[in-house]
Structure 1
Amino acid sequence: MNYFNTLLLITDHAQGRVLDFGGGIGTHTLGTAMYPQVEQVVYCDINPINRDLVKYRAEQLGLSEKIVFCQELPDKETFDTIIFISFDVLEHLPDPSQQLLKFHQALKDEGKIIMNWCFFKSYNQEHPFHLDDPDLVEVFYRTLQSQFLEIFHPHQITARCYRKLV
């Protein structure tokens, strides 16, 4: 149910040129590329195996013309929507608030960002590589609150949608 509701959130808000940052196996990229209100999806992932898999899946689904592949966030490009829903990305970055600022810069003024995160190593340290330093997490939340405004949605999921504060 959680995955289905995440796709509903994307359906509700994704449009125009979309960046899927840390796209993993590409499920959100492929689903988003199928929406008529989406012109192009830029799939960004550092893992070459993931990129090859998503390219293959895109070819099989006839979506190759609508998806662009990259390894790093493209410089000076702007997006109508940014999707950052893959777990185990933001919480591994040394300074997640800096990534938020990069997203803010890349997002068009009327754009929306859909994202989630989990700054928690778990009670028994099941996620030892997750960032959970209280000071860095507080800076992240302060940055989020100063740059974005959450958009209400009725879906029962951990992902959230924000619009850019201008």
Structure 2
Amino acid sequence: MNTQAIVDPLIPPLQDNQFIIALIAEISDAPIEQVADRFIQEHGDLGGNVRRAMVKQGIPYHEWSPDLEQFYATTDAFLYETLVWNRADLKNDMRRWIGRYLSYSSSEPQRVLTFGDGLGIDAYYLAQLGHEVTYFDVSQQCAKFARRIFEHGNLNVTMIDNVEQIQQESYDAVLCLDVLEHVPNPSELVGWLSSAIRDAGKLIVHAPFHYIHSAVTTHLRSNRRYSGDFHTLYEPYGLYPVDGKLFWNPLVFEKSETARSRRIPLQLNIGRMLLGIGRNWSTPHNLVTKLLLNSKDLTAMVK
């Protein structure tokens, strides 16, 4: 049976508003009416909870600071932002594409690390597909949410709370989705993740470096220089592009010297030119992203 064909990337917990609201209220110790209001607001204003929390704490947008680092670990605002992002068509299409890619890559279950997986939605989906999944995220609140949905789905996902627990050269695939644009040194993180991948293993990335917008106030402006660049960040660590979608949502690298000599797929080269524009002028890209997010459908989810 083709498991891929019967597993919905909009995983069951994402389809149950009452379950989500009750779980967030429990985790954040907030009144359920307040959680419901914030939940509804986020669907019409993606990123609004994070933006308002940053203003309240006096944290500047798009700039790295010790306060921002602490914010990632402790705020409950990402419970709302990452929840709604994971319900968006754009993210579900990406999740489905990754599931198919892994199934085409091997007929056997793969050992996968989902790094920076927030609420654990990607880990949940890949575990449903039969893969051996390890989850990690720095957010304490998000990790609590992930643990609860894994238990609710009776899924065997390994959760780690310290990067030192990540085993070196042992994963068939590492997912790093919507993480690199948030960190002050993306190159250092890529190098570290590469060391966790076995020979001929894959790094699957989505990193919209160009996307500097009020909807994503934690994206760092200093990282825009990496938009459309898969040489500077990845090749020094033996990672070479082998597959992906036009706008690199996602982009797949292989850790292999044999991959160096392969022809880069045409769509990735076209994407490189288009995304490269975003280093200096991201307005067109931001407009396209807004259209792809389909905020009308997101708003309809809470009616």
* CA-to-aligned-CA distance 1:26-73 (integer Å, 9 cap, x gap): 11010011113x1x211101112111111111111110xx21111232
Query: 2:101 aligned with 1:10, yes or no?
Result: no
* CA-to-aligned-CA distance 1:82-115 (integer Å, 9 cap, x gap): 0111x2x211212100111111111011211111
SS in 2 for 1:33: helix
Query: If each structure's strand is expressed as a fraction of its own residues, which one has the higher value?
Result: 1
Q: How far did residue 132 of structure 1 move? A: 3.1
Partner of 1:131: 220
Cα distance change, pair 45–5 in 1 and its aligned pair in 2 (3 A): same
SS in 2 for 1:130: coil
Q: Amino acid of the residue matched to residue 5 of structure 1?
A: D
Provide the identity percentage. Answer: 20
* CA-to-aligned-CA distance 1:9-40 (integer Å, 9 cap, x gap): 2213344211100111111010011113x1x2
For 1:83 and 1:94, locate their aligned partners in 2 and report how far apart those are by CA, in whole Å.
Answer: 19
Query: If each structure's helix is expressed as a fraction of its own residues, which one has the higher value?
Result: 2
Partner of 2:143: 51
* TM-score calculated relative to the size of structure 1: 0.80
Gaps of 5+ in 1: none
Gaps of 5+ in 2: 1-88, 103-108, 258-303
Of 26-35 and 149-158, deviating more is: 149-158
Aligned match for 1:120, one of 200, 204, 210: 210
Partner of 1:41: 133
SS in 1 for 2:219: coil
Computing the radius of gyration from Cα coordinates, the structure with the larger value is: 2
Cα distance change, pair 165–4 in 1 and its aligned pair in 2 (3 A): same
SS in 2 for 1:152: strand
Between the two proteins, the alignment pairs up a number of residues equal to 159
Q: How far did residue 125 of structure 1 move? A: 5.9
For 1:94 and 1:141, locate their aligned partners in 2 and report how far apart those are by CA, in whole Å.
Answer: 18
For 1:153 and 1:125, locate their aligned partners in 2 and report how far apart those are by CA, in whole Å.
Answer: 27
Query: 2:153 aligned with 1:61, yes or no?
Result: yes
Cα distance change, pair 34–126 in 1 and its aligned pair in 2 (3 A): closer
Aligned match for 1:98, one of 178, 183, 188: 188
* TM-score calculated relative to the size of structure 2: 0.46
For 2:199 and 2:93, locate their aligned partners in 1 and report how far apart those are by CA, in whole Å.
Answer: 26
SS in 2 for 1:158: coil
